[in-house]
A and B are shown apart, each in its own frame.
Chain A
Amino acid sequence: MTAHRINSPYYFSPLVLLLGLGLACLLTPVRDCMAQGEKRETVTLDLQKATMADVLKEVEKQTGHRVFYDTLDLDTAKIDIKVDRAPWPQVLTRVFSGSDLSFSEDRHGRVFVVKGAAIATDLPPGFFDKPVAVEKGFGGGADSIRDYLEDAGKTPVSTLENKLFVIGEKTPGPQKGIANLAGYARDAKTGEPIAGASIYIENPRIGVISDQYGYFSLSIPRGRHILNIQSIGMHDTHRLIVVYGDGKLNIDLVTQVMTLKKVIVSAEKASNVRKTDMGVQKLDIKTIKQVPVVFGEADILRVMTTLPGVKTVGEASTGLNVRGGSTDQNLVLFNDATIYNTAHFFGLFSVFNPEVVKDVELYKSSIPAQYGGRLSSVLDISSREGNKKEYTASAGIGLLTSRVNIEGPLIKDKTSFIVGGRTTYANWLLQDLPAQYKNSRASFYDLNLNIAHEINKKNNLYLTGYMSKDRFNLNDDTTYGYGNKNVSLKWKHVFNNQFYFTASTGYDRYDYSIQSTENPVNAYKLGFNINQLYLRTNFNYFLSSSHTLDFGVSTLHYKLHPGMYTPVGSKSLVVPDTLQAEQAEESAIYLSDHYAITSDFTIDAGIRYSLFNYLGPSVQNNYAPGEPLTTETQIGTTTYPSGKIIKTYGGPEYRVSARYVLTDNLSLKASYNTQRQYINMLSNTTAMAPTDIWKLADPNIKPQSGDQYSLGAYRNFKNNTIETSVEVYYRDIDNYLDYKSGAQLIMNHHIETDVLETKGRAYGVELLIKKLTGKLNGWISYTYSRTELRQNNPAEGEIINNGSWYPADYDKPNDATVVGNYRFTHRFSVSVNATYSTGRPITLPIAVFEYAGSLRTLYADRNAYRIPDYFRTDFSMNIDGNHKVHQKTHDSWTIGVYNLTGRHNPYSVYYVSENGAVNGYKLSIFGSAIPFVNFNIRFN
């Protein structure tokens, strides 16, 4: 018999069992304890569909041996057994075969059935220098003597961990071959799915990570296994399983409240060494909330900028520059919905409500084949599903914003909802601005609604609604407004254990408007919007333990209104002017295979074919062939009817990544990917502005394309509690758009004459040291990177910087960040965040001249200089109320200081002509240390 050793902390200590049994024996009527005078050693059984307990009872009855066991330990499977006068140890050996139960008999003929090593009913041989016979096949024996003191005193916490789960129909005989186990990992308290949980068996080493629905599917050899389940923030657990065939197992995980007790050492928790994908950063909302940010408002995008390879041009911008990409090269998905503008309040906040977000995943080098349409990265933000068990609410009050969230079950354990809203009352702050901004006003809000519904075990529906709105004016009567509106519906269907699919459909909209009515003759309103309707399917097929296939098709219909300029009021002489609507269809088909060649060598290979059709109705400007696109070289127009395919772009995109594990905690990864982007943001401001417009590729503007090579080494230390990684990358970008001098981007009927197609290149090294467990946690990141552009093609009409490479606006070569959190107690922790980066490039004047009554500055080469370096330190304290579980409200405070040193970090430097003279200024968004306080309360 092969006795599996279980080294779980919850292991049922045999010593305790013995004591307990002894006590039980004392309390049981004497005649029972003594009714063991005559004992027969054989049994005759003829049982069908009997449980182990039935068999044990029968053995007890027939032999007179008292059998002690815990019913929770016993296998739930039904067995058929037929024996005639067989020795009882033989029968038990047979019944327990394939389980980890073992038994032993003491000198009084009592039989103890326990899990794992059999109970030593005698002191070890030689203890009293007296040999003790150990029967073969029975428990006991030298190797079964263990030091149980380690676990002594522990009582079983989770009975589920000691129970044996049978997967599939029980079949007699040896179990060979592979079977599939699938199920969901959920939070035991709220019923919400747990994404990213690691589910694995040790021998052979096979593991899988649960997906965003908490779903996992694992192909493992038939037989008995310990299934380990680990997830950050949850108690590690395991399930004893015996696999006879394909089957299902759902696992409930318990939130880890006792974060200080000890560092849970785990093999998979920090699995960056073992994962195939590279350049992927995942942060859960708990980690995000620890990082101090301005005004104490937890901000997903700000925290992303602390990661290597992710930058932003300054404080007033939530636009991310990932590995030298521009801000429009990131696909920002919020539960499948594309968010076009991620900024609230001049870019000081991001549009994502931290109370609704579950986690954020950033793909910056190996982008899965199911995603496409942007060159640099995919930022996948998942929202929480809402509590499936009970109603809860939370509220937060900060200096600038307040938020309320309500969640709960619509149908208990089946349907849950979460509703969240945020708004600002920031106008009081704007009154303290310098006089020129005194009459500024700004407000925003955002609303979230998520509904998750389980139709049945195989079908789930998810509905997401999102809306954000911003309005502001900067000291004059010009009012700016913009907003996102998104709704998506996703259906998940499980065909069988190995095969499931999701289909999602939805509508995304981004719009802005600018209105000015002060001058009645010029009163106008300018409007812009993007609308897109999409359908995406994704099939996930666990072909075998070494192959997992992902494939699907998607289609996306764009409709853009690039500009509507209309009069306001009866006195306005403004001529209504509308840029013609743009429409296009972007479709893709993809297939990718996760191929585990050996357990150490894994390849993810994918191909995506994307196709973009620019559709009529449209009137397209034609230009003389071979000439630069200018208004002078335009030679007429062509009119296309509705639905006519005007121009098609497309091609294959390759996504390959490979991982080779050198040792248990060291691996190498490489990846190559190509991307195509058919929609560009047109902006000649450095920061993402609310007036930036988006433009589809069309006959005159080619789509951007790019490829990226990256290589990385990953090493974990101290039992995987410290992750380190080094990644290098090189990127090429084609048809990146830059702008001619003085380009007119708004309400331009021939925008192609104002843009330039440039080439881009980016390269860099990213270092990361991360510790996400223990009292002290956080990360240190450093990036060296360059991003350069070049326009040396005279056919474009204008050569920039004499055709040599020039740095992009967001080229910040050195960038280092330290994020640290120290938990003093369960209720009190302190976070510090420090960041340094090279100043971004800027175009500075080269000379001064006099014109129109004033000295003025002359500009020449783009981005030839840099603003001063950036350095900032933030500090915050998180104070939780008491942790009593059964109280009506739980509250917490966050108090901190942003920009602790009060350094005037430059946002930009500029020269301006004032009263005839030229003055140079350094503009800082924050001119002092900014204290903040946030109060959060949760209601049950």
Chain B
Amino acid sequence: MSKKRIKILLCFFSVVVLWRCKDPYISPYKSPVTGYLVVEGYISGNTATQFTLSHSIELPGDSTIPTEDGATVQVEGNDNTVHPLVGQGNGVYSSIDTLALSPQVQYRLRIGRSNGEQYLSNFVQYKPTPPFDSVSWVNTDGAVQIYANTHDPTNNTRYYQWEYYQTWEYNSSEQSLYMYVPGPPPQVIWRPDSLQIYTCYQNLNSTNLLLGNTTKLAQDVVYEAPLVSIPPNSVQISVLYTILVKQYALTADGYNFLSIMQKNTESLGSIFDVQPSGTVSNIQCLTNPKEEVIGWISAGTVQSQRIWITRAQVPSTYYYECQKPDTILGQDSATITNDFGSSGIFTPIFFVAPPPPPGEISGWDANYSGCVDCRLQGGTTTKPSFWIY
């Protein structure tokens, strides 16, 4: 090949080839009206037992999920014990105290809807959950990966499910010392500690099904089952981060039910997709056996573990960058009403008292509220009850 040809070839080599792309898809098909009863919860022997009843909706799933209130819900044991649950609103039914359950007894759930439909689950084995060995984390170039570790010395558990509840503290870019009050008269006053907007707390719970099994291992050991990954220098670990992990033991059937649900709803989109398939719940409608019910009832104990991670432990370079430098606004009532009050665009930070420093004017040093009010990033200023600092 001549040199010229090599050049041409290299030119073609450098053509960036884009392949594999994902476009949003809106199904042209009208999905049927289902309204199937969805039952989610866990019959727990060491915490309050709680179930949520809701209904399925049509695709694409942008309407509100209807909840089922006014039903009677009770846990029944095959020793003829009955443990009623109390409706809390929003489709939530829970026991007032921890139910007195026995590992030797099998339990089931019975639901009577206000429209007369009756539902009953199969009896399920009461399966105690082994405690955590630890909830651990590994820092790889600033990215934090959190893992669950546990083991069952009796090798009986084998199937696990985890849920997590993350909470983190974070700060706004600038700390506001003053606040606007509409009055009358409208004025800017000293901000009390109780109304601070510099430190916020935000929650994020698991949205994926986190499952694990040890059926292929010699011992029932779960080592570093991945739970959640936090990107480097993100807001989660900008001040203080905590995660509460709950662990549930499952039966093989319960695990398979959730595993199919996971494949159907979380694992699609690869080249070698497994075809989605229907799932069979362990709760049925007694009054209309053809009606589908979604959910798997399991019973046992719940283990939980909370860990804390500070900014210094990672460490993080996170800083919520404000796009604008501070600006000095006038003290007249029209200005404070417009800028701090009705529009709420600006939030006062501190007062530049007369005489102003050279080159400046006196007035309210302020910035855009997004830079000053941490709540505008989604959190609340209410310190959670479990917060230790």
Query: Footprint of B on A, CB under 8 Å?
Result: 316, 346-347, 397, 399, 429, 432-434, 437, 474, 519-522, 524, 565, 573-575, 577, 684-687, 689-691, 741-742, 747, 809, 843-860, 862, 865, 904, 907-913, 915-928, 930-933, 935, 937
**CB contact under 8 A between A920 and B24, given known A845-B31, A911-B268:** yes
Q: Do B61 and A855 touch across chains, with their CB atoms under 8 A apart?
A: yes
In the complex, whether B40 has a CB less than 8 A from a CB of chain A is: yes
**CB contact under 8 A between A399 and B60, given known A347-B271, A845-B31, A860-B278:** no
A685 interface neighbour in B27, B206, B273, Cβ under 8 Å: B273
**CB contact under 8 A between A850 and B54, given known A521-B223, A573-B219:** yes
Q: Do A931 and B15 touch across chains, with their CB atoms under 8 A apart?
A: yes
A-B contact pairs, 30 of them (CB 8 A): A574-B218, A575-B216, A684-B274, A685-B275, A689-B272, A845-B31, A847-B34, A847-B57, A849-B54, A851-B294, A852-B40, A853-B205, A856-B261, A858-B34, A858-B36, A859-B277, A865-B29, A910-B25, A910-B273, A912-B268, A918-B59, A918-B61, A918-B265, A922-B22, A923-B22, A927-B20, A928-B17, A928-B21, A930-B17, A933-B9
Q: Looking at chain B's contact residues, is the secondary structure mostly helix, strand, loop, or mixed?
A: loop
B217 interface neighbour in A434, A521, A912, Cβ under 8 Å: A521
Q: Do A848 and B13 touch across chains, with their CB atoms under 8 A apart?
A: no
Q: Do B275 and A862 touch across chains, with their CB atoms under 8 A apart?
A: yes
B223 interface neighbour in A316, A522, A908, Cβ under 8 Å: A522
Q: Do A913 and B207 touch across chains, with their CB atoms under 8 A apart?
A: yes
Determine the distance from Cα of A854 to Cα of B54 in the docked complex, in whole angstroms: 13
Q: Do B265 and A923 touch across chains, with their CB atoms under 8 A apart?
A: no
A743 to B, closest residue via Cβ: B277
Q: Do A742 and B279 touch across chains, with their CB atoms under 8 A apart?
A: yes
* Chain A residues in 8 Å Cβ range of B27: 844, 865, 909, 920
Q: Do B21 and A924 touch across chains, with their CB atoms under 8 A apart?
A: yes
Determine the distance from Cα of A346 to Cα of B273 in the docked complex, in whole angstroms: 12
* Chain B residues in 8 Å Cβ range of A923: 20-22, 269
A925 interface neighbour in B20, B269, B273, B294, Cβ under 8 Å: B20
Q: Known contacts A524-B216, A843-B276; can you find 10 more A-B pairs with CB under 8 A? A: A522-B223, A685-B272, A742-B256, A847-B57, A850-B54, A852-B209, A858-B292, A910-B25, A923-B20, A924-B22
Q: Do A859 and B276 touch across chains, with their CB atoms under 8 A apart?
A: yes
In the complex, whether B295 has a CB less than 8 A from a CB of chain A is: yes
**CB contact under 8 A between A849 and B56, given known A921-B24, A927-B20:** yes
* Chain B residues in 8 Å Cβ range of A847: 31-32, 34, 36, 56-59
* Chain A residues in 8 Å Cβ range of B386: none
In the complex, whether B266 has a CB less than 8 A from a CB of chain A is: yes
Q: Do A851 and B295 touch across chains, with their CB atoms under 8 A apart?
A: yes
B266 interface neighbour in A849, A860, A913, A926, Cβ under 8 Å: A913
Closest 3 CB pairs of A and B: A927-B21, A848-B61, A521-B223
Shortest Cβ distance from A692 into chain B, in angstroms? 9
B-side interface size class? 35 or more
Shortest Cβ distance from B159 into chain A, in angstroms? 14
In the complex, whether B3 has a CB less than 8 A from a CB of chain A is: no
**CB contact under 8 A between A809 and B275, given known A851-B294, A924-B23:** yes
* Chain B residues in 8 Å Cβ range of A346: 271
In the complex, whether B5 has a CB less than 8 A from a CB of chain A is: yes
Shortest Cβ distance from A403 into chain B, in angstroms? 15
* Chain A residues in 8 Å Cβ range of B38: 849-851
Shortest Cβ distance from A606 into chain B, in angstroms? 38
B60 interface neighbour in A524, A848, A851, A852, Cβ under 8 Å: A848
Shortest Cβ distance from A197 into chain B, in angstroms? 37
Most chain B beta-carbon neighbours within 10 Å: one of A846, A862, A909, A922:
A846
Q: Do A684 and B275 touch across chains, with their CB atoms under 8 A apart?
A: yes
Determine the distance from Cα of A846 to Cα of B163 in the docked complex, in whole angstroms: 27
B209 to A, closest residue via Cβ: A852
Q: Do A846 and B269 touch across chains, with their CB atoms under 8 A apart?
A: no
Q: Do A574 and B25 touch across chains, with their CB atoms under 8 A apart?
A: no
Q: Do A574 and B61 touch across chains, with their CB atoms under 8 A apart?
A: no
A921 interface neighbour in B19, B25, B57, Cβ under 8 Å: B25
Shortest Cβ distance from B221 into chain A, in angstroms? 6
**CB contact under 8 A between A920 and B54, given known A846-B32, A912-B269:** no
Shortest Cβ distance from A562 into chain B, in angstroms? 16
* Chain B residues in 8 Å Cβ range of A521: 217, 221, 223-224
B210-237 to A contact mask, C-beta < 8 Å, 1/0:
0000101111010110000000000000
* Chain A residues in 8 Å Cβ range of B36: 847, 849, 858
Determine the distance from Cα of A728 to Cα of B259 in the docked complex, in whole angstroms: 44
Determine the distance from Cα of A511 to Cα of B252 in the docked complex, in whole angstroms: 31
**CB contact under 8 A between A741 and B280, given known A575-B217, A931-B12:** yes
In the complex, whether B195 has a CB less than 8 A from a CB of chain A is: no
B271-308: which residues lie under 8 A (CB-CB) from chain A? Answer: 271-280, 292, 294-295
Determine the distance from Cα of A522 to Cα of B220 in the docked complex, in whole angstroms: 11
In the complex, whether B65 has a CB less than 8 A from a CB of chain A is: yes
In the complex, whether B72 has a CB less than 8 A from a CB of chain A is: no
* Chain A residues in 8 Å Cβ range of B32: 846-847
Most chain B beta-carbon neighbours within 10 Å: one of A519, A565, A852:
A852
Q: Do B207 and A854 touch across chains, with their CB atoms under 8 A apart?
A: yes
**CB contact under 8 A between A926 and B20, given known A573-B218, A849-B294:** yes
**CB contact under 8 A between A844 and B29, given known A850-B65, A854-B208:** yes
**CB contact under 8 A between A687 and B294, given known A397-B9, A522-B217, A927-B19:** no
A860 to B, closest residue via Cβ: B278
* Chain B residues in 8 Å Cβ range of A915: 207
Q: Do A685 and B274 touch across chains, with their CB atoms under 8 A apart?
A: yes
Shortest Cβ distance from A746 into chain B, in angstroms? 11
B95-134 to A contact mask, C-beta < 8 Å, 1/0:
0000000000000000000000000000000000000000
Most chain B beta-carbon neighbours within 10 Å: one of A742, A845, A920, A933:
A742
**CB contact under 8 A between A843 and B275, given known A521-B217, A922-B25, A926-B19:** yes
* Chain B residues in 8 Å Cβ range of A397: 9
In the complex, whether B260 has a CB less than 8 A from a CB of chain A is: yes
Q: Do B217 and A848 touch across chains, with their CB atoms under 8 A apart?
A: no
In the complex, whether B16 has a CB less than 8 A from a CB of chain A is: yes
B263 to A, closest residue via Cβ: A742
Q: Do A432 and B18 touch across chains, with their CB atoms under 8 A apart?
A: yes
* Chain B residues in 8 Å Cβ range of A691: 272
Most chain B beta-carbon neighbours within 10 Å: one of A851, A918, A926:
A851
* Chain B residues in 8 Å Cβ range of A690: 272
In the complex, whether B264 has a CB less than 8 A from a CB of chain A is: yes
Shortest Cβ distance from A702 into chain B, in angstroms? 23
Q: Do B56 and A848 touch across chains, with their CB atoms under 8 A apart?
A: yes
Shortest Cβ distance from B257 into chain A, in angstroms? 8
In the complex, whether B270 has a CB less than 8 A from a CB of chain A is: yes
**CB contact under 8 A between A849 and B20, given known A521-B223, A573-B219, A935-B5:** no
**CB contact under 8 A between A920 and B25, given known A849-B36, A928-B18:** yes
Determine the distance from Cα of A347 to Cα of B295 in the docked complex, in whole angstroms: 38
Determine the distance from Cα of A854 to Cα of B219 in the docked complex, in whole angstroms: 32
* Chain A residues in 8 Å Cβ range of B55: 849
Shortest Cβ distance from A464 into chain B, in angstroms? 30
Shortest Cβ distance from B218 into chain A, in angstroms? 5
Determine the distance from Cα of A931 to Cα of B259 in the docked complex, in whole angstroms: 41
A741 interface neighbour in B57, B224, B277, Cβ under 8 Å: B277
Determine the distance from Cα of A96 to Cα of B5 in the docked complex, in whole angstroms: 63
In the complex, whether B26 has a CB less than 8 A from a CB of chain A is: yes
Q: Do B163 and A573 touch across chains, with their CB atoms under 8 A apart?
A: no
Determine the distance from Cα of A474 to Cα of B267 in the docked complex, in whole angstroms: 14
* Chain B residues in 8 Å Cβ range of A912: 265-266, 268-269
Q: Do A924 and B20 touch across chains, with their CB atoms under 8 A apart?
A: yes
Q: Do A853 and B23 touch across chains, with their CB atoms under 8 A apart?
A: no
Determine the distance from Cα of A432 to Cα of B274 in the docked complex, in whole angstroms: 26
Determine the distance from Cα of A468 to Cα of B56 in the docked complex, in whole angstroms: 49
Q: Do B57 and A848 touch across chains, with their CB atoms under 8 A apart?
A: yes
Shortest Cβ distance from A422 into chain B, in angstroms? 18
Q: Do B20 and A742 touch across chains, with their CB atoms under 8 A apart?
A: no
Q: Do B276 and A846 touch across chains, with their CB atoms under 8 A apart?
A: no
Determine the distance from Cα of A933 to Cα of B7 in the docked complex, in whole angstroms: 13
